[in-house]
Amino acid sequence: MGVNGWRSADLLDEMNPDWVPNQNLGYANRITPAAVDKFERAARRNENKEAREVQESILAVEDFSTHPVPIDRVAELEDEIKSLRREMQLMRDKHQPFLCNSFEDFGQNDDKCRYFTALNYKVFKSLYKFLEPHLPQPATSFGTTKFQILLFTLSKLRLDIDLTLIAYMSGVHLSTISRYYHKCIYVMFQRLKGLVSWPSREAVQNSMPQCFRRRFGDKVSVVIDCFEILTEKPSEVLQAAQMWSNYKHSHTVKYLIGIAPNGMIIFISNAFGGRASDKFITEKSALLSKMQKGDYIMADRGFLIKNYVENTGVELLLPAFTVGQDQLHPLDIEKTRKLANVRIHVERVIVQLRNKYKILYKNKFPISTLKRTKNYCETPLMDQIVTVCCSLVNLCPSVVPED
């Protein structure tokens, strides 16, 4: 039995404590003084070789640094240095906002603020003060502040920046950034959804632009339209069929939006499949229940809801149709022209919504955003995002002129 307690070493296992030579016992290979001198001379040669290589590399660097530059290239190199410095400054300015910890670091710069949030500096600061008590409290070990959470969430809505990029730029793990983003969206949804609310008839009449008042008096309460948002293809066949849009030639969800004559968004429906008609969405939404008898509702040709609307005492304003006739009657032409002249202003609100918050059209929404999030509320994430974007647009100046 060996030293290790269970068996002797193998024949060639020289590192084993139980290995013992049994031939020559090492006496046949004696180290002579000549062998020692030979080893020392080889070691000195290696040291001298390494020293020479270091000296040669130093000389090469010195020769390069003192190499004369042609005079005709000096101006070219100086311009290149200036160009690289400008590019570096642009990159620093582009990525700096995500590293800011407060408004003092962000700076009172309206252009920069509008680029990242679509809001001016004062509105952004007021919004932060309003939301700050309810924003998620980040752990101190993450080095992230509430200000940064709101900033990158608004930037995600504004520019549709990938959360992975935000995670790398802020030095925080992607899962943490994603969790903060979802919580911030939920907070904004709960606190700002009141900005998309139905006003009283008196409020609508008092804020009625002259372009509406001259043509229709003060009876128009809302202008309705539908817009679609692209989504990924659902895995279920039935769901994919319900979400297929012949208009977009893709899978979409459709929202009914109601806009007051002054350009404020006063109604936004839940998401419907892209296959749903404008009539179906209008009937299934709660829009008509908010209107009063005698109100005017302005819509496009796709809203075939005249019979449904008249039962509620609401007047429907639609462009004239040429169905069953060769051309429109002059009175119908004049009516259609009046509708088009005012609808163009309201349609600009939808364009403003898309331009300010590119998340609504830049990329396809994942199907997971249509599912209810049990951790926060029963409203799907996509509905939360659309409502938040509409609320933020209402904080911006209206695109409809007052006179």
What's the pLDDT tens digit per position in 144-197? 788 889 999 999 999 998 999 888 887 788 998 999 999 999 999 999 999 999
The per-residue pLDDT for 64 is 47
Place 110 in a pLDDT band, splitting at 50, 70 and 90. confident
Which of 13-27, 127-141, 389-403 shows the lowest mean pLDDT across its residues? 13-27
Q: In terms of Cα–Cα distance, which of 99, 110, 107 is closest to 151? A: 99
Range list of H helices, 311-399: 330-356, 381-394
Which one is predicted more confidently, 179 or 371? 179
247-258 pLDDT tens trace: 889 999 999 999
The per-residue pLDDT for 26 is 54
φ, ψ dihedrals at 346, nearest 5°: -75, -35
Rounded to the nearest 10°, the torsion over CA 187, 188, 189, 190 is 50
- The dihedral sign for the CA sequence 239, 390, 247, 305: positive
Crossing angle of helices 163-170/174-192, nearest 10°?
Answer: 110
The per-residue pLDDT for 271 is 93
pLDDT at 6 over 60: no
Place 330 in a pLDDT band, splitting at 50, 70 and 90. low
Q: In terms of Cα–Cα distance, which of 203, 182, 194, 225 is closest to 318? A: 225
Q: Around Cβ 123, how many Cβ atoms within 10 Å?
A: 18
| Domain annotation for the chain: domains and CATH numbers | 93-193 (no CATH), 196-394 (3.30.420.10)
239-249 pLDDT tens trace: 899 999 998 89
The per-residue pLDDT for 170 is 77
Tell me the Cα Rg of the chain: 36
Place 29 in a pLDDT band, splitting at 50, 70 and 90. low
Give the mean pLDDT of the chain. 81
Residues 6+ apart with CB under 8 A from 100: 106, 147, 148, 151
Report which secondary-structure segment, H or E, holds 256: strand 250-259
